[in-house]
Structure 1
Amino acid sequence: MTDYRALAEFRYQLRRFDRFSERAARAVGLEPQQHQLLLAVKGMPAGVHATIGLLAERLQVQHHTAVELVDRMQARGLVRRSRAGADRRRVFVHLTRRAEAVLPRLSHTHRTELRSVAPGLRRMLDAFVPGATTARASAIG
């Protein structure tokens, strides 16, 4: 029963943060999925270009859903597409200046919120994987 309680609490804390994120995105005129896509593009590892397939995976949506989302965001001037040099079938997604201007504000707001909820999330994670957060913290620090 304790595992159920801990799992329920962990999911509750995750959902609270997700809800916060949805409201923060809407406050700057973005839909939550649009914010997630901007963050996914910006957060690609060095040397990795954002493709529709990668973005679909990162957002956990179907390929056609990612295409539609990129279409809408391109129409709003938030992203642009480019073709790969040799393989013209591959399409890369890039942030526009407009997106680059809004993303830092949202990221700052999210980091502030994460600092506030981090202790609770750490406790919940440690309930499932004892010592996980201390092992990770010492590996980072």
Structure 2
Amino acid sequence: MPPSKQRRTPVGTAKRNAAAATVDYPALAQFRYELRTFLAFSEEGARKAGLTPQQHQALLGIKGFVEPGPPTVGDIARFLLIRHHSAVELMNRMAKLGLISRVTDPEDARRVQLKLTAKGEQKLQAISKKNIEELRRAASPALRRLLRSAPKPDEA
């Protein structure tokens, strides 16, 4: 074939192929399986506690919020990767169940802050305790294997 008709390898392809060859696909597949297994375990734990998985995730998002001040509905919508109006409806249902309370932001009356009630705290603590036990039992070894086998960012 004449040189002008030869196919050229795109620049950087060899480097990408070499990086892909260093990926431990069995470890990555195993980790994904164990992640899904953990999520199924956690979702079932939420149901056993009388919550939907999304309600459990919302409680966790409210309790685990790290910015100054309590989270708002918008913060929880972002945490759950849902639309604001969906988060409003979720918070309405959770408030009716006595899991959360709403407090008007003292600095901005347009904002509503979210806090867990004693009932919400109790349910979250019970589910979280079981989830931590399950993570210690099953998921951590796969994660450690995956992280050990993955190429460093500067190697990819």
TM range (shorter): 0.7 to 0.9
Greater relative contact order: 1 or 2 (C-alpha under 8 angstroms, separation 6 or more)? 2
Listed as ranges, the matches of 1:1-141 within 5 Å are 3-45=24-66, 47-117=68-138, 118-129=140-151
Structure 1 runs (4+) greater than 4 angstroms displaced: 1-4
Contact 1:34 1:73 in 2 (8 A): yes
Distance in 2 of aligned mates of 1:3 and 1:60: 29
| Structure with more helix by fraction | 1
Contact 2:65 2:71 in 1 (8 A): yes
Q: Specify the code of the residue in structure 2 equivalent to 1:121.
A: L
Shift of 1:37: 0.6
How many matched pairs?
130
Contact 2:27 2:142 in 1 (8 A): no
Structure number, greater radius of gyration: 2
CA RMSD of aligned residues (A): 1.8
Residue-by-residue CA offset, 1:46-98 (whole Å, 9 max, x unaligned): 63311111111111111111111111101111111111113111110111111
Percent of aligned positions that are identical: 45
Distance in 1 of aligned mates of 2:101 and 2:147: 38
Number of the residue aligned with 1:133: none
- Going from structure 1 to structure 2, the CA distance change for 1:125 and 1:74 (only over 3 Å counts) comes to same
Q: Which runs of 5+ in 2 are unaligned?
A: 1-20
Residue-by-residue CA offset, 1:12-67 (whole Å, 9 max, x unaligned): 12111111100010011010010111111111126331111111111111111111
Shift of 1:105: 1.1
- Going from structure 1 to structure 2, the CA distance change for 1:125 and 1:65 (only over 3 Å counts) comes to farther
